[in-house]
Structure 1
Amino acid sequence: MTPVNTSGKVLEGWNPENPETWDKAIAWRTLTISTFSLTLAFCVWFLVSAIAPKLNDIGFDLSAGQLYWLAAVPGLSGGIIRLIYMFLPPVLGTRKLIGITSLLMVIPMLGWGFAVTDPRTPFWVLITLALMTGIGGGCFSGYMPSTGYFFPKRMAGTALGLQAGIGNFGVSLIQLLGPWLMGFGLLGLGFIAPQHDRAADAPLWLHNVAFFFVPWAILAAVLAFTLLKDVPVQAKFREQLDIFGNPNTWILTIVYIMTFGAFSGFAAQFALLINNTFGKASGFAATHDPATLPKGAAFAFLGPLIGSLIRALWGPLCDRFGGAIWTFICGIGMTVATVVAALYLHPDSPDDFWPFLIAMLVLFFFSGLGNAGTFKQMPMILEPRQAGGVIGWTAAIASFGPFFVGIMLSAMDAQLFFFLCAGFFAIATALTWIYYARPGAPYPG
């Protein structure tokens, strides 16, 4: 019988580092429910990236720049919201944090579901709804530190790797299910007329992509309020600011921008990048049958799927060998893959798409590996309260990835941007080696 008092909503006497004051069942139940909610959150965050490539096909008249911005602004709002969420776990507690957030996700999903039914919906409304989807990305900086309270350090890599990896799978899930959900009327939504896909000259139920996830978000809220408990970790706002005096906060921020910033940024823009470089919006559309050109929506889910899967699977390996070495390997792989992908961004033929795709999938592979590595490092390098704050802070800054990648792709040549990214990745990799991964490093993790 565990001495932890589990009868109320707050776990009195909880200490996961002591087997006698830790309840394994409660920890894994918390991980399961919060991960379910986080997966839906990432679906919400990347909802626009699944919808935007089809907007002009159903009657909207948006420029390539406007479409990039639509897919980019969820990253802006997600990053800002993460700066708030990083302080919430000790304030709200896990139960209310997960429950309230799950209900908030319903708002942008309903908004987008109705907005796409009328192609006269103003661009400012679409931008506003895109900003609202940032709640799905913002909550990550609350969910991850909160989950960290429930597991001992020896299991941090596995627990956080599973939660982040499966949660990140929401990016791939929305892009994988999106094209399928658009193809038929969902049960109970027959009163909403389908849109007309001018490219395919066929009906298209684009609103399904948003409405489908609403009941699941409500279920997540119910599960959170009824089954989750809180850990009595409390910290005043001023106390939590001490993370900014730790140099590791800033180094790990740079590293996590490389890993998750790139993962989220390129995932959000992947479909549009394919369409604009190789597909229907490229120069090849005038000289080739559009039906033979690659469609971004058909490939967009692959990168996030690979990155998410690797992040989830690599947690146990990070627990065994440490996170730093994997983060370092990630940096090398991402740098090389980005350079290779850049070489095909001024294609001479649609056939150049295939080596570009392979390079991008390799990039996503290594980003997943690095995301697992960094989240193992943070709890090992920092004490629990600071580790939670640094996880929230680094996640907040890195989540600006979709916004930054989107505005850069709309403002400069894509090849130049990729080369600049490779240079940044090289710097982050060098910092990882110097401070964390080399023999005798000052902060091994």
Structure 2
Amino acid sequence: MAGRWIEQWDPEDRTFWKEKGERIARRNLYFSVLSEHIGFSIWSLWSVMVLFMGPEYGVDPAGKFFLIATATLVGAVIRVPYTFAVARFGGRNWTVFSALTLLLPTGAAFAVMEPGTSYGTFLAVAALTGVGGGNFASSMTNINSFFPLRRKGWALGLNAGGGNIGVPVVQLVGLLVIGLAGAAQPRIVLGVYIPLIVLSALCAALFMDNLAPVRNDTGAAREAAGDPHTWIMSFLYVGTFGSFIGYSFAFGLVLQTQFGRTPLQAASLTFVGPLLGSLVRPVGGSLADRFGGARITLWTFAAMAAATVAVVLASVSGSLPLFLAGFIALFVLSGLGNGSTYKMIPGIFQAKALARGMAGEAAEAYGRRLSGASMGLIGAVGALGGLAINLAFRQSFRTAGTGTGAFVAFLVCYAVCCAVTWAVYLRRPARTAGPAATTETKPQLSYAEV
């Protein structure tokens, strides 16, 4: 696909950034947000479709949880190739293509969404929506290349937050359709999104750019996969983004199954948590720019554990108000953590470059190279956390009829995330005598600032 290519790009050069770099980067950011926003809406489509699936569809709650879990799984796995597609085809070109692929799952759902369709068909169509999850990885990798390190927290937070808002928006559309047309008209939701998909692809073609300096680097991919920090950050991202997307997909179904809400009642509450979590993601990135991503991440996990305790108490006592307050707090905190963890990634690899004795452009290039390669892996593993959450809910409801057991498991996970964040990125090693020991501990100390 032909497209506009920028041959030279150096965002760390403040003169270049001020004269033209910032303007170009911001333009690409805004239209990247639009495309990713629509992608998230399609990825989370089945969190809305299951609300339309009454008894006449013949699908029990466990089967509905498995539908949304399937969409989560495919969206997580496809993030890896999407990450490297940006360098292979260009950020603008891939954004156009990935936007147009959203027509496939949307059109397929439009064709099959009616009683009498087999469960296997629903499962296959739900799997197709996973392509919307891949848009996040390519979008974040692309925008990471446009911005200097000092602005990455804000830029990546805004890009991801604007995309994440696609989840509550599609849920709001579902609410409007259920409220105005009834729970027997799911095709209206799908009809709304088909022209929006075309619009996002057209805007990407007209207003975005490809960066020629960003090339596929299989060595970077291998190096990132072999770096322990890639997998540590993947685990932390399971705790933040995995929680956000898993809860977003399951919230309405939990309200229907455990608290007996009608489709309209569930839809009227479902969008609130994902909306707030999406809006605060740029705040998490900005706080990380100012105070350090590791510190914000640690306190976020501690607060998520406290909110989960409230949700467990609400689940046991059957208190809907307490449940809603705790669950929405989890959404807000996961949004903050999403922003702070993604800010940590380029900072960690920049710190590694400095620890290796690099400086200036060499350190910056190393940081961009490794952080870009690692983001796809981290995003994919993090999204698998959403799969784990939906499978945990499915098992908990199947065995006990409530989500309490799943929430207890999530509480343990947040406690482990706290411990890992502190131990790896904030704990200051004990001082030991000798120059060698001082040199060895320096990289560890610098991670507190990422």
TM-score bracket relative to the smaller structure: 0.7 to 0.9
Q: Is the aligned partner of 1:424 residue 2:418?
A: no
Superposition deviation, residue 399 in structure 1: 1.0
Distance 1:21 1:13, change over 3 A: farther
- Distance of 1:40 and 1:295 partners within structure 2: 25
Aligned residue among 232, 253, 259 for 1:272 = 253
- Distance of 1:151 and 1:131 partners within structure 2: 33
Aligned residue among 330, 337, 344 for 1:377 = 344
Residue in 2 that maps onto 1:253: 234
Q: Check conservation: 1:53, 1:67, Cα contact below 8 A.
A: no
Residue in 2 that maps onto 1:355: 322
Superposition pairs for residues 102-181 of structure 1, below 5 Å? Answer: 102-116=99-113, 118-181=114-177
- Distance of 1:179 and 1:436 partners within structure 2: 42
Aligned residue among 363, 366, 389 for 2:333 = 366
Q: Check conservation: 1:13, 1:21, Cα contact below 8 A.
A: no
Distance 1:402 1:381, change over 3 A: closer
Q: Check conservation: 2:221, 2:374, Cα contact below 8 A.
A: no
Aligned residue among 387, 390, 394 for 1:410 = 394
Q: Deviations over 1:232-259 (max 9, x none)?
A: 2113334412112212111111110000
Aligned residue among 87, 90, 93 for 1:90 = 87
- Distance of 2:347 and 2:217 partners within structure 1: 23
Farther-moved stretch of structure 1 (157-166 vs 226-235)? 226-235
- Counterpart amino acid of residue 255 in structure 2: I
Q: Is the aligned partner of 1:14 residue 2:14?
A: no
Aligned residue among 360, 363, 377 for 1:393 = 377
- Counterpart amino acid of residue 367 in structure 1: S
- Distance of 1:370 and 1:314 partners within structure 2: 6
Q: Which runs of 5+ in 1 are unaligned?
A: 1-7, 186-195, 198-203, 281-289
Q: Check conservation: 2:83, 2:137, Cα contact below 8 A.
A: yes
Normalising to structure 2: TM-score of the pair?
A: 0.86
Q: Is the aligned partner of 1:36 residue 2:20?
A: no
Q: Secondary structure at the match of 2:211?
A: coil
Superposition deviation, residue 317 in structure 1: 2.3
Residue in 2 that maps onto 1:338: 308
Residue in 2 that maps onto 1:215: 195
Residue in 2 that maps onto 1:321: 291
- Distance of 2:273 and 2:179 partners within structure 1: 23
- Counterpart amino acid of residue 133 in structure 1: T
Q: Check conservation: 2:284, 2:296, Cα contact below 8 A.
A: no
Greater fraction helix: 2
Q: Check conservation: 2:235, 2:381, Cα contact below 8 A.
A: no
- Counterpart amino acid of residue 39 in structure 1: H
Q: Check conservation: 2:307, 2:326, Cα contact below 8 A.
A: yes
Aligned residue among 296, 310, 314 for 2:280 = 310
Q: Deviations over 1:254-302 (max 9, x none)?
A: 110000001111110001111111115xxxxxxxxx79xx932221111
- Distance of 2:419 and 2:387 partners within structure 1: 25
Superposition deviation, residue 313 in structure 1: 2.7
Aligned residue among 53, 56, 71 for 2:54 = 56
Q: Deviations over 1:39-78 (max 9, x none)?
A: 1111001110011022116x31111111111121110100
* RMSD across aligned positions (CA): 1.9
Q: Deviations over 1:127-168 (max 9, x none)?
A: 111000011112211110110110100100110010111110
- Distance of 1:402 and 1:314 partners within structure 2: 20
Q: Secondary structure at the match of 2:147?
A: coil
- Distance of 2:109 and 2:310 partners within structure 1: 36
Superposition deviation, residue 184 in structure 1: 5.0
Q: Which runs of 5+ in 2 are unaligned?
A: 350-366, 430-443
Superposition deviation, residue 214 in structure 1: 1.1
Q: Check conservation: 1:113, 1:207, Cα contact below 8 A.
A: yes
Q: Deviations over 1:301-338 (max 9, x none)?
A: 11111111110233322212221111111110111111
Identity %: 31
Superposition deviation, residue 434 in structure 1: 1.9
Superposition deviation, residue 183 in structure 1: 4.7
The number of aligned residues is 406
